[in-house]
Structure 1
Amino acid sequence: MNQVGQVVHYILNMGSSVMLPIFIFIIALIFRVKISKAFKAALTIGMGMVGINLVINLLTSNVGPAAQAMVKRFGFHLTIIDVGWPSAAAGAWGQSISAILIPILVVVNIVLLLIGVTKTLDIDIWNYWHMVAAGSVAYIVTKSWWFAILMAIVYMVFCLLIADWTAKDVQGYYGFEGITFPTGSSDAFGLLGIPISWVLTKIPGLNKINVTAETVQEKFGVFGEPMFVGTIIGLVLGLLAGFDVSKTLQTAVNLGAVMVLMPRMVKLLMEGLIPISEGARDMLKKSGSKRTIYLGMDAAMSTGAPATLSTGLVLVPITLFIAAILPGNRVLPFGDLATIPFYVSLVVARRKGNIVNSVITGAIVITFALLMATNFAPVHTEMMRGAIKFPAGATQLSSLDMGGNFLNWILLKLSQFVSAWI
């Protein structure tokens, strides 16, 4: 078991930009893509992931300091620190049960695909950490390996079914043919957010407002283009943070650059995915099967859409404001603020880029997420012990991505119920 764990962790430590191309290459060969074409596709996807990660780092390095400055400027006093998904992932991978979960989850996904329970093949192995986290939490609460494995599988099944449910939205709005998002945080947010966004479309007056990236550009011309929208949002964040002129302008230009660069990185990644998608369709056609297979990818791809990025960035100061006034909340949002665009990806797609509807929906779901993250904090903190250095002044740790995740929270409650009977 220890040797299996070492192999799994060695592969995971390569990072998504190396691990994903290797897995893509294997999948391409299974779908009978020529070796040379499969290798080029895998390498292209690797380059695309490098580009996406660079742009995400640019986004994080600008939103993070702005959020921290806003916290100090407005005097927020909350004792549970949102350490963000990277720390939550590190805590999940650090549990003794994590090593065996990856091969189990891969096999389960393939079996579910073969028997027709799902149409999604989740090839984004790095984001299996969401399922591993669900299993790790269940193990911490119950100390039962079998129950922990079951909870990780249940979480995966939810993600695959939600990915199937939202596949037409992802493909129709983002233009990703044959792609869907089984990313745990995005799926949990969408599970709550899509019904809420639908209710908003039934409210008189509000249902007449349809602000999209396209309508903004149509109304404001060149000043409505993504680079200008990102620059303006960056300018507002800088002013709210109380930055000086120089730092405010740097934040503005950097977020404008994110809006320009992210779609180009996503386009590069999609170039690599096309041969695999075509190979899957050709193989099914030759076999006489009428089935459809979706390739499950990281919801980070959705940030190539200006509406998704804009919605997420607008929600940053709104999230901090909600955290400050929400009764019962003790979580200080920080680490996951830059990843809010991922969370709203399915809502934005379902509402076809309606930014107003998506922002209101996002604010409502984040309200619930903060309360869930507060409730999740004791177990989340226990999972993080030894994985990261606790921030100064933090009595407990949580995250919007894991602690504020509806699926994780439901499974936590189930684990706590079961632990009383074990």
Structure 2
Amino acid sequence: MDVIMQAIEWFIGLGSTVFLPIIIFIIGLIFGVKPAKAFTSGITVGIGSIGLGLVIDLLSGSLGSAIQLMGENYGTSLSIMDIGCGVGGPLAFSTTLGILLIPVSLIVNFIFIALGLTKTLNVDIWNFWFPAFLGLVVQSVTGNFAYAVLGTVVAVMLQWLLADLFQERISSFFGYPGIAITHMMALSGAVFAIPVNWIFDHIPGLKDMNADAETLTKRFGIFGDTTIMGLIIGIVVGIFAGYDAAGFLTLGMSTAAVMKIMPKMVAMFMEGIMPIAEGAKEFASKHLGGRSVNVGMDAALTVGHSAVMSSALLMVPISLALALVLPGVKILPFGDLAFFAFVICLMIPFFKGNIVRSIIGCSLYMVTMLYLSTWLAPVVTDVFAIASYNVGTTGLVSFVTAGLWPVALFVLACRYLGVAGLVLIAAAIIAVMFYVNKVKAPKEA
């Protein structure tokens, strides 16, 4: 067992830009893709992943530094440190629970696909960190490692269910056939967006407002262009961070560059993954009675969309303002500001790409995250202690994107019902899976 764990740790240690192409190649062979084509797909996905990483590093590095200065200038009274979700992966995969989740999730995923309970084959191994984090949350609340293992399995089941439920809408909006997004942080926002958009549909004036990226470009000329919006937002953030002219102009150009380059990197990523998605369809047709199989991927594939990037950049000053004015909020968005695109990206399809709806809806969502991340801070701090992960402070820590409803659900279920709470959540997930994929699907065929 120790040898297997060490092998998995070594594999993860290679980094996602190395292990993801290997996984894509192996999955391609399993689905009957010719070796040369599967190999090329893996390499192309790796190149796209590197490109996405470089662009995200540019965004988080340049914009993140400015945001930190803004936080120091305007949020010194807020007592809980937002260390950001960027530590989530290193945290999760530094624990036995995180490493153990990888083989367990893949095995259970194949079983659920074979049983017809899910259509999602999740190969986005790096983002297994969030289910592992939920498992650590369970361990914090219950003090029981076995319950934590169960919690991680329930969490990945929830991922597959949400990925199945939203795949059609998300795939149609972004133009990714055969792809499902399995990033839990992003999927959580979609659940919030659906009822909020229904409310928007019944508000006079707002329900008829057409404000997608193309309409804004036509109405406001170059100022409606997402690249120009990135330039302006970068300059404004730089000014509030106290940069000189050279500094805020450079930041503006960096932000504009991200808006322009990101879609091209996503396109390269998709170029590599599409042959695997097509192979999955053919495999399912031959061996799974015609059932469809969607390849589960990172939400990074969606953040290059103009409406997503525009909304994410605009949410930076909005979230800071909300943290400063909302009573009872004790956390200032800090480490997570550069990652907001991953939190809101799957909300945008349900707002139909409408920038106005997206900003209002995402702002409401941010209110819930700020309060929940404040409330969850003692649990999150304990999670880092369980993992023996040094956060560089003796006070409470949290991150805004920890303030999501799945985290609150697991905490409440375990706190008041113990392991029975996890069992109830699992039973509900399987029941909905059965209805969606075994009862409802055949009738729609």
TM-score class, shorter? over 0.9
Equivalent-residue separation in structure 2 for 1:74 and 1:336 (angstroms): 16
Equivalent-residue separation in structure 2 for 1:135 and 1:389 (angstroms): 19
Structure 1 residue 352: Cα displacement: 2.1
**Counterpart position of 1:201:** 201
Residue deviations 1:21-50 (CA, integer Å, cap 9, x gap): 111111100110000000000000000000
Residues 227 and 257, structure 1, Cα contact 8 Å, conserved in 2: yes
**Counterpart position of 1:413:** 412
Residues 169 and 346, structure 1, Cα contact 8 Å, conserved in 2: no
Equivalent-residue separation in structure 2 for 1:133 and 1:124 (angstroms): 16
**Counterpart position of 1:155:** 155
Alignment of 1:366 with 2:362, yes or no, is: no
Secondary structure of 2:203's match? coil
Q: Residue type matched to 1:19 in 2?
A: F
Residue deviations 1:91-126 (CA, integer Å, cap 9, x gap): 222333222221111111111111111111111011
Q: Residue type matched to 2:135 in 1?
A: G
Residues 211 and 355, structure 2, Cα contact 8 Å, conserved in 1: yes
Equivalent-residue separation in structure 2 for 1:351 and 1:270 (angstroms): 24
Unaligned runs of 5+ in 1: none
**Counterpart position of 2:121:** 121
Residue deviations 1:275-308 (CA, integer Å, cap 9, x gap): 1111122223344833111111100111110110
Q: Residue type matched to 2:340 in 1?
A: I
Alignment of 1:18 with 2:18, yes or no, is: yes
Secondary structure of 1:41's match? helix
Secondary structure of 1:331's match? coil
Residues 92 and 383, structure 1, Cα contact 8 Å, conserved in 2: no
Unaligned runs of 5+ in 2: 422-445
- The range that moved more, 2-11 or 32-41, is 2-11
Structure 1 residue 247: Cα displacement: 1.0
Equivalent-residue separation in structure 2 for 1:78 and 1:406 (angstroms): 23
Q: Residue type matched to 1:378 in 2?
A: P
Residue deviations 1:148-168 (CA, integer Å, cap 9, x gap): 122112111211111111112
Residue deviations 1:294-345 (CA, integer Å, cap 9, x gap): 1111001111101101101100111111111112211121111111111111
Residues 190 and 350, structure 2, Cα contact 8 Å, conserved in 1: no
Secondary structure of 1:77's match? coil
Secondary structure of 1:411's match? helix
Alignment of 1:383 with 2:383, yes or no, is: yes
Cα separation, partners in 2 of 1:93 and 1:213, compared to 1, 3 Å? same
Equivalent-residue separation in structure 1 for 2:297 and 2:309 (angstroms): 18
Cα separation, partners in 2 of 1:223 and 1:378, compared to 1, 3 Å? closer
Residues 190 and 343, structure 1, Cα contact 8 Å, conserved in 2: no
TM-score (norm 1): 0.94
**Counterpart position of 1:188:** 188
**Counterpart position of 1:109:** 109
Residues 197 and 347, structure 1, Cα contact 8 Å, conserved in 2: no
**Counterpart position of 2:432:** none
Residues 232 and 252, structure 2, Cα contact 8 Å, conserved in 1: yes
TM-score (norm 2): 0.90
Residue deviations 1:252-290 (CA, integer Å, cap 9, x gap): 100100011100000001110111111122223344833
Residues 87 and 388, structure 1, Cα contact 8 Å, conserved in 2: no
**Counterpart position of 1:339:** 339
Equivalent-residue separation in structure 2 for 1:32 and 1:322 (angstroms): 51
Map 1:319-334 to 2 at 5 A.
319-334=319-334
**Counterpart position of 2:230:** 230
Equivalent-residue separation in structure 1 for 2:377 and 2:222 (angstroms): 46
Secondary structure of 1:346's match? coil
Structure 1 residue 251: Cα displacement: 0.9
Map 1:57-206 to 2 at 5 A.
57-206=57-206
Residues 135 and 149, structure 2, Cα contact 8 Å, conserved in 1: yes
Structure 1 residue 224: Cα displacement: 3.5
Secondary structure of 1:207's match? coil
Identity over aligned pairs, percent: 36
Q: Residue type matched to 1:280 in 2?
A: A
Residue deviations 1:327-377 (CA, integer Å, cap 9, x gap): 221112111111111111111012221111111111111111111111111
**Counterpart position of 2:46:** 46
Cα separation, partners in 2 of 1:3 and 1:86, compared to 1, 3 Å? farther
Residues 90 and 387, structure 1, Cα contact 8 Å, conserved in 2: no
Residues 181 and 298, structure 1, Cα contact 8 Å, conserved in 2: yes
Equivalent-residue separation in structure 2 for 1:420 and 1:165 (angstroms): 26
Structure 1 residue 415: Cα displacement: 2.1
Equivalent-residue separation in structure 2 for 1:217 and 1:156 (angstroms): 40
Equivalent-residue separation in structure 2 for 1:288 and 1:3 (angstroms): 34
Residues 323 and 333, structure 1, Cα contact 8 Å, conserved in 2: yes
Structure 1 residue 188: Cα displacement: 1.4
Secondary structure of 1:180's match? strand
Cα separation, partners in 2 of 1:34 and 1:417, compared to 1, 3 Å? same
Aligned length: 420
Structure 1 residue 390: Cα displacement: 3.0
Residues 231 and 256, structure 1, Cα contact 8 Å, conserved in 2: yes
- The range that moved more, 280-289 or 81-90, is 280-289
Structure 1 residue 391: Cα displacement: 4.2
Residues 120 and 180, structure 2, Cα contact 8 Å, conserved in 1: yes
Q: Residue type matched to 1:30 in 2?
A: I
- Which 4+ residue blocks in structure 1 deviate beyond 6 angstroms? none
Equivalent-residue separation in structure 1 for 2:227 and 2:189 (angstroms): 27
**Counterpart position of 2:291:** 291
Equivalent-residue separation in structure 2 for 1:420 and 1:182 (angstroms): 25
**Counterpart position of 1:215:** 215
Secondary structure of 2:335's match? coil
